[in-house]
Structure 1
Amino acid sequence: MRSILEESMLERRSMPLENRPRLPRIPLSKRNRAVVRALNPMLVTYLEASRNLCEMDSTLFGAALAVCRILGAKLPISGRATQQSSAITAWRKIIEDHIAKARALIGRLTSFRSADIKQKLTERIDDLKQKIAAWRKRIRRFSERSRWFNQNRLFQSDQKRLYKSLERQEVYGAGPGPDQADTVAFWRGLWSELVNHNEGPWMEVVASQSASVTPVDPITITPENVAEAVCRALTVQFEISSE
């Protein structure tokens, strides 16, 4: 057990954090707890000899790795998660290969264009260009769909991180602001000067149709009307609450 512990600590001591394997979750059981309790006294010497937090972190990680190896837990390959996240997806690589081959074929057809087969070559080149445009749209559509999927999943797991990723730095224009007199003159020209609008003949049609409509008598609301309405509302509310 001590040899496995020392081997694990020496193996992972100089390894960068991003290359460390993701340790699996160990279920709680009597056997697993016994292994952990047996390794705890062995760590005292290594922890006391640690000169900084980095060495202490390496020691603790090596101990956790030793526990996984003793229990026979399956460990992932180091750096696999980083490689997968930065790798190009298979479907995108296939489409990009199609685009590269189509562009190469367009170049060859353009170089061999002659007068007798010019029409056929032109049609073939146009067809390839349309395919390239369709493939590029497919890549854009799939990329947007993947981005939406990742954002939805991130929203369910970590909303703060999602909102932070959606933030964009606003760029304001540099330089002096507008002149105050010009600003006042601009808005005064919009709101203060009278303008005669030509509404067109439809206004005359509406006016002739509305001539026979009897206007509504003006309604004057007094403070007594407001007080009466408020008292009536309070009475209804009291009756409902008492029921």
Structure 2
Amino acid sequence: MRSKIFDDAELGRLRREAIPSSNESAMAGDAAPHSTDQHPHVEAALDLPVVVDSNDDEIVSHELEKMRSILEEAILETRSTPIENRPRLPRIPLSKRNRAVVRALNPMLVTYLEASRDLCETDSILFGAALAVCRIIGAKLPMAGRATTQSSAIPAWRKRIEDRIAKARALIGRLTSFRSGNNRPRIMRTVRMAFAGTNISLSQPDITQKLTERIDDLKQKIAAWGKRIRRFTDRSRRFNQNRLFQSDQKRLYKSLERPKVCGAGQGPDQADIIAFWRGLWSEPVNHSEGPWMEVVASQGASVTPMDPITVTPEDVAEAVRRAPNWKSPGLDGLHHYWLKGFIVCHAVLARQFQEALDQKSLPSLFTTGITHLVPKDQDTTDPSKYRPHHVSTHHI
């Protein structure tokens, strides 16, 4: 529907085939997309009770009251919690049930949003609503605060193969030790296990040859597993490069040109980092400009000023529509998914962004980000040898 692949008649036919129903409900189904496009806010309010799954279970009035109390509690809790102590919101599945819960909460947010005084308060209300949805659907909320430890970059398949290789090497070591005449109980137990299920006895005369064959067999398995790791790694790298080529060619070419620098060395002292960046950003500098500045100023005087900007709810909706659902959020921890789902916030955000634009002032929440320093070369103790990578800024 979003890509306009089918016309209305074809969509209606598909609907009737997918959901056998009377003509009246089929016609109502045909009419639904048009009303949604024209009146997104009305759709949220009129769609209750909402169909949750194929069994025609509905969010009935007593469930709505329970949701309302969970929402109120979550918004109050978020208001009284410092931003750094907010729980991290999980990525929730894009299921019919979850969409229905978000839609059901939409009209409940109107009262809170109408009373919102600024962008920070709106953000707090939306975070509380997101928290309420997670609690209603039973999503697991990670611990409060931001994640500090990176998850292991080694994929599970590689760990499994490397475990097999480690066990095979340990077995080779014990078989070799037994072949050299070591008859200690632990060695004997391992050798018996290695030949379990075969008719080979440790006392038969050709046991040395059988041991050699078993050791060679294990060595070949290790070589095959090693090749498999290399093959899988190459395939994974190709896949990631192809995907990056589609989404961000510039980053792909940079990654191909720039040698990988290991950041495992000792990092610089925090005081040195602060002193280095303060010298660049915080200390005023007096520049002596030449006559070229006057030329630029005279050229600029003839430029027509741009028209004043008016932020509309449609602008907010469009900005949010194009944003990835689960992109790393700003300091507030609110993903784009929630800005898309809670459509009643678009009008409030448009008004408050307009006010911020007119007053030439934004809250610090919208101008503060998290910068990761990435080492440019092997000298990891020098603050000037790092590239700032600004990964976490605000949404719109």
Pick the structure with more helix per residue: 1
TM-score, normalised relative to structure 2: 0.32
Task: Report which of the two structures shows the higher radius of gyration computed on alpha carbons.
Answer: 1
